[in-house]
Amino acid sequence: MTAESGAVFLTEGAHSAQLFTVLSGWAFRFKMLDDGRRQILNYVLPGDLVGLQGSVIGEMEHSVEALSPLVLCVFQRDRLDELFANHPGLAFDVTWLAAREERMLDDHLLSLGRRSALERAAYLLAFLHERAVSVGLGKGQGPVSIPLTQQHVADTLGLSIVHTNKTLRKLTNKGLIRWLGRSCEVLDATELARVAGWEGLGEPVRPLI
C-alpha cells in the first residue's frame, strides 16, 4: 500500500484498526484537542510498526499522517494472534518495537517537560537525524534532509510557530542546521545533541520486520 504526503491514513477512533509496517518514507503520529491544538507524539520511519495500539487494545487514540510519499505493508489484525501462537521470535520482535517506542516517548517527555525551547529544538533534530541515519537515509552525499515544516516542529515541541521560528533561527545562526523549502538539513548532529544534553538512542541491535 502507498500513501501520499499529507495523507492521514489512520485516524483516531478507528475501530477496524489495521497494522502496518513502513517500508519507505516518513510519517508522524499525533493527537488533537477539541479546540484544534495539535501535538505530534513521534515520527515514523522505515522499519516502524504503525497501528499496534489499535491492533492490541482495539481502538486507536491517535492519528497518523504521511510527511512524504509512503510505502506500507499491511498486516491483518487477526493474524496477530496467529503470530503470537506460531512465531514467538517475531512476537518478541513486536514487543521489542513497542518497548523502543516507549523509550522514545520517555525521551520526548523529558524534553517537553524539562528542556528549554532551544534545547528542545536541538534534541528533536538530533533525534530525527539519528533515526534517519540508523535506517540508512544518510548514505546520499551531503547532509541528511528531514521532510517537515516549522509548523510540525512547533507541534512536536509544544511551542508556537513564531517562537519555533526564532528558536530554529538560533540553531541556523550557529551553523547546526539549514532550512530548505519544507525540509531541514542537519549539519552538525553532534553539536545539536550537546546543546540538548542528549545521549542519543543507543540502539545496538534491532529486529528486522
CB 53 within 8 A of CB 63: no
Distance CA 184, CA 144 (A): 8
Evaluate the CA torsion angle 16, 21, 23, 29 in order and state its sign: positive
> Does the protein bind a copy of itself through residue 91 (CB under 8 A)?
yes
For 35, half-sphere exposure in the C-beta direction (CA atoms, 13 angstrom radius) is 0
List the one residue from 31, 79, 103, 163 that touches DNA (CB under 7 A).
163
Q: Which is nearer to DNA, 83 or 117 (CB)?
A: 117
Per-residue x/- mask for DNA, residues 76 to 115, rule CB under 7 A? ----------------------------------------
Q: Which is nearer to DNA, 140 or 204 (CB)?
A: 140
List the one residue from 90, 112, 118, 201 that touches DNA (CB under 7 A).
118
List the one residue from 31, 79, 182, 194 that touches DNA (CB under 7 A).
182
List the one residue from 156, 168, 177, 186 that touches a copy of itself (CB under 8 A).
156
Distance CA 70, CA 67 (A): 8
> Does the protein bind a copy of itself through residue 167 (CB under 8 A)?
no
> CA of 191: how far to CAs of 59, 128, 169, 182, in Å?
40, 14, 15, 23
Q: Give the interface segment with DNA, choosing from 10-18, 45-53, 75-83, 145-153 (CB under 7 A).
A: 145-153
List the one residue from 7, 8, 23, 57 that touches a copy of itself (CB under 8 A).
57
Q: Cell numbers 530548505 label which residue?
A: 180
List the one residue from 16, 142, 202, 208 that touches a copy of itself (CB under 8 A).
202
CB 93 within 8 A of CB 207: yes
